[in-house]
Amino acid sequence: MPTFRYKVRDRQGQIISGVQEAENKEKLLSGLRTIGYTPLAVQPFRKESGKDATDMSPPRPPKGIWRAGPPLAEKRGPRNTLDSRLRGNDGKKYARSTPTSFLGGKIGDTDMLMFTRELESIVRSGMPILSGLRALANQAENAGLKKTIQAMASDVETGLKLSEAFKKHPKVFSDVYVSSVVAGESSGQLPEVLKRLGTLLENQIETKASITAATRYPLIVICVLFAAFLIIVNFVLPRFADFYSRLNADLPLPTVLLMNLGKFVHTFWIPILLSTALAIAALIWYVRTPPGRFMKDTLNLRWPVFGPLFLKIEISRFSSTLETLYASGVPITESFVIASKIVGNVIVSRALLKVREGILSGEQIAQAMQRSPIFPPLVIEMIASGEQTGNLDQHLRDISSHYDQQIKYTTKNLTTLIEPILTILLGGMVLMFALAIFLPMWRLISVLKR
């Protein structure tokens, strides 16, 4: 009968190692879970001659879980024991984690989504967490994510819980992610929690992609207009200026204005560039201060066309985050605190904190929301219905789904919505270019007659 060396965590979080005979690895894992242990690693083991047989394994499980066999000694042993078997494919031990989790390489939303989905599959299949993390680290393509998973695996190997390993990497895993994992571990629903987190990441990725696609056309238009301006003032208008100067004639006013603007940019482009850079840096610094952030977020909600879109995005983000946390078992008051940190608008964040204060004072969620103009009546009514029926998580999911559809519709039609602004901008620029180019041509006949 084969022998396996195992490492498990008991219900108090203590790490226990031992050696046990079993028919196969799957039955050993099943037996360990039956007696309340969380498997961390299970590897084949061969007893070497000359070793004692002192039993250092954990308490024996009930009969029938696996076939009883003589317990083997748990020793450090030579380099071919568990310590070496838990190394990476390159034979090197993984580095211990540090408080800084952003260990190299930018970790994008797509990388996090793939990691979450793969971790869900590992947990759902019953594979030991430590072995699963080692496998994810070996196949990770992103350098930053690879080092983060390696550090987490080392932390789990030393005895930390998975959620505690997540907490050591706040720059990679958000508060929502960590709190959900903590709740999932406590309730025994970690696979479902990871599934919800994956869905949340998918929605965020789709929303960002939709907004990027919708704003691509206006950016292209602006870049083309700027390029046309540079070509006209540098190559077209100078020819008219030279020809009119030979005839001692004056250029039309639109042409003069456009030429002077081009000369100004050409002469003072370095100061203009430096001033623009300083102005952008000052603006970035200001919006990072509390007053600047408040002003920026206030304007974001008041912009025509974009303001309602930004509000829909924040409501969708808040409702999906709250649904994930609430369904994972996180207390509702703590869920509102975390959701207030996740939303990207300080106005909405403050509104969520005020709702939390109302809940702490004994009010219902919907009742506390009614005092804020941020939350639409539909959101308040659906949350009130969810509180009455006891299906708050489902109603929050419905709110998120509804606003996700609204966001997709708005972003798909964003080009149509901003067409009036683009038409005015294009019309003004084309008129200016046309007057600057064609007026000299039309006046050229009268100049030649003189």
Confidence of residue 61 (pLDDT cuts 50, 70, 90): very low
Most confident of 38-47, 156-165, 170-179, 252-261: 156-165
**pLDDT given at position 447:** 65
Residue 280 in domain: no
- Among 119-123, 166-170, 288-292, 324-328, the range scoring the smallest mean pLDDT is 324-328
Per-residue pLDDT at 79 exceeds 50: no
Do 256 and 165 share a structural domain?
no
Q: How many CB atoms lie within 10 A of CB 256?
A: 15
Expressed as residue numbers, the domain containing 440 is: 192-267+301-450
Last residue of a domain, one of 122, 141, 173: 173
**Could you tell me if residue 97 is inside a domain?**
no
pLDDT in tens, 268-313: 889 999 999 999 999 999 998 999 999 999 998 988 878 888 898 8
Q: At what angle do helices 346-360 and 306-328 cross, to 10 degrees?
A: 40
Mean pLDDT of the region 36-44? 76
* CA–CA distance, 307 with 396 (Å, rounded to integer): 22
Q: Which of 173, 201, 216 is the last residue of a domain?
A: 173
Q: Tell me the two tokens of residue 61.
A: 């499980």
The residue that leads in pLDDT, 432 or 100, is 432
Q: At what angle do helices 190-231 and 175-187 cross, to 10 degrees?
A: 170
CA 128 – CA 66 distance, rounded (Å):
18
Mean pLDDT of 362-382: 91
Q: Are 137 and 225 contained in the same domain?
A: no
Instruction: Say yes or no: 73 and 140 in one domain.
Output: no
Lowest mean pLDDT among 74-83, 115-124, 306-315: 74-83
In a domain, 407, yes or no: yes
Task: Give the pLDDT score at 35.
Answer: 61
Residue with tokens 């008991």: 10
pLDDT tens figures, 84-105: 333 333 343 333 333 333 333 4
* pLDDT for res 213: 78
What CA–CA distance (Å, rounded) separates 82 from 87? 9
pLDDT at 448: 66
Pairing mode, if any, of strands 15-21 and 3-9? antiparallel
Q: Is 408 helix (H, G, I), strand (E, B) or coil?
A: helix
Q: Where are the alpha helices (DSSP H) in 232-373?
A: 237-246, 253-267, 269-288, 290-300, 306-328, 332-342, 346-360, 365-369
pLDDT tier at 379 (50, 70, 90 boundaries)? very high
Give the single-character DSSP code of 78.
Answer: S
27 and 153 part of one domain: no
What are φ and ψ of residue 69, in 5° steps?
-145, 165
pLDDT at 80: 33
The DSSP-derived string for 158-193 is: TT--HHHHHHT-TTTS-HHHHHHHHHHHHHT-HHHH
- The reply to whether 75 and 128 lie within a common domain is no
Same domain assignment for residues 133 and 40: no
For residues 367 and 415, state if they share a domain. Answer: yes
Q: Is 206 among the domain residues?
A: yes
Residue 264: its pLDDT value, please?
85
How far apart (Å, rounded) are the C-alpha atoms in residues 32 and 19? 12
Range from 145-149, 162-166, 413-417, 429-433 carrying the lowest mean pLDDT: 413-417
Q: How far is CA 283 from the centre of its chain?
A: 25
Highest mean predicted confidence (pLDDT) among 2-6, 90-94, 403-407: 403-407
- Residue 23 per-residue DSSP state: S
DSSP 57-69: SPPPPPTTSS---
CATH number of residue 224's parent domain? 1.20.81.30
- Number of domains forming the structure of the chain: 3
Residues 259 and 385 in one domain: yes
Residue 50, φ and ψ in degrees, nearest 5:
90, -5
Q: What pLDDT score was predicted for residue 195?
A: 86
CB 53 within 8 A of CB 73: yes
pLDDT digit string (tens) for 126-135? 878 888 888 8
Query: How far is the C-alpha of 190 from the C-alpha of 85, rounded, in Å?
Result: 27
Task: Report the helix count and the strand count for the chain, using DSSP H and E.
Answer: 20, 3
Q: Is the pLDDT of residue 384 over 60?
A: yes
Are residues 200 and 68 located together in one domain of the fold? no
Residue 21 binned pLDDT confidence (cut-offs 50, 70, 90): confident
Q: Do 136 and 117 contact (CB within 8 A), yes or no?
A: no
Average pLDDT, the chain: 77
Say whether pLDDT at 352 is over 90. yes
Place of tokens 């985050």: 321
449 found inside a domain = yes
Beta strand ranges found along 140-225 (DSSP E): none
Structural domain includes residue 33: yes
> Which residue has better confidence, 289 or 51?
289
End-to-end CA distance of the chain: 113
Query: Is 145 exposed, middle or buried (CB count within 10 Å of its CB: 0-12, 13-18, 19+)?
Result: buried
pLDDT band of residue 193 (cuts 50, 70, 90) is confident
User: Does a structural domain hold residue 294?
Assistant: no
Which residue(s) pair with 3 in the sheet? 21, 45
Q: State what percent of residues in the chain have pLDDT above 70.
A: 82
Q: Is 21 helix (H, G, I), strand (E, B) or coil?
A: strand
pLDDT at 267: 85
In this prediction, residue 151 carries a pLDDT of 92
With contact defined as beta carbons under 8 Å apart, do 437 and 232 qualify? yes
Q: How confident is the model at residue 424 (pLDDT cuts 50, 70, 90)?
A: confident
- Residue 448 counted as domain residue: yes
**Could you give the CA distance from residue 370 to residue 73 in angstroms, rounded to a whole number?**
66
Q: Are residues 144 and 28 in the same domain?
A: no
Contacts of 186 (CB under 8 A, 6+ apart): 329
Do 246 and 342 share a domain, yes or no? yes
Residue 396 and residue 261 share a domain: yes
Are the beta carbons of 153 and 133 closer than 8 angstroms? yes
